């Protein structure tokens, strides 16, 4: 069964990866409709796994259609309240972050999905998820904003 937490996860996923509130809302709505249909058709499947698969699929379609990343200021309460973290994240997404690394970081560290669910939902081995998380954290830590905050 899908809950409000699933919808909030979809909103945050798209906000942190698309960096645009309007796109995040429309993409999350699209994901929730498709996820709801799939959960209804396969009641034995885990909703988190289905949601992860749909998030990745629809994110990929937005990435292919979209040009330059938009950066609208946050206006809603469902996003991070820490502006410094958001600034560093925007820098990572815009300049350094590879898509598969940023997707893994968002799903695991920001939204709290398990590595097992990520592997199943994205259709890759757990080792691949661990690699993406490690490389993503390594790349994120080298953004100039993080380097400056660390005094490096």
CA distances in angstroms from 81 to 6, 27, 40, listed in the order given:
19, 21, 34
**Token pair 């993080």 in the structure block, residue:** 146
* Residue-wise DSSP of 71-111: -PPP-STTS-S-HHHHHHHHHIIIII--HHHHHHHIIIIIT
Output the pTM of the full model. 0.82
Instruction: Report how far residue 44's alpha carbon sits from residue 106's, in angstroms, rounded to the nearest whole number.
Output: 26
Q: What pLDDT is attached to residue 79?
A: 56
Which architecture does CATH list for 4-150? Up-down Bundle (1.20)
For the chain, list residues with pLDDT below 70.
66-85, 96-97, 145-147, 149-152
CB 18 within 8 A of CB 70: yes
Q: What is the pLDDT of residue 69?
A: 46
- Whole-number pLDDT of residue 87: 72
Would you state the pLDDT for residue 5? Answer: 92
Residue 83: per-residue pLDDT: 63
């Amino acid at each position: 069964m899908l809950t409000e937490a699933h919808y909030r996860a979809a909103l945050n996923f798209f906000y942190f990866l698309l960096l645009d509130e309007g796109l995040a809302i429309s993409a999350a709505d699209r994901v929730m409709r498709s996820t709801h249909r799939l959960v209804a058709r396969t009641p034995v499947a885990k909703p988190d796994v289905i949601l992860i698969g749909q998030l990745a699929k629809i994110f990929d379609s937005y990435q292919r259609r979209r040009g330059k990343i938009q950066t609208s200021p946050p206006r809603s309460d469902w996003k991070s309240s820490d502006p410094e973290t958001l600034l560093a994240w925007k820098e990572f997404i815009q300049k350094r972050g590879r898509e598969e690394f940023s997707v893994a970081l968002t799903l695991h560290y920001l939204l709290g999905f398990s590595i097992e669910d990520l592997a199943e939902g994205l259709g890759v081995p757990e080792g691949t998820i661990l690699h993406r998380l490690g490389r993503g954290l390594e790349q994120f830590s080298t953004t100039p904003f993080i380097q400056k905050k660390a005094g490096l």
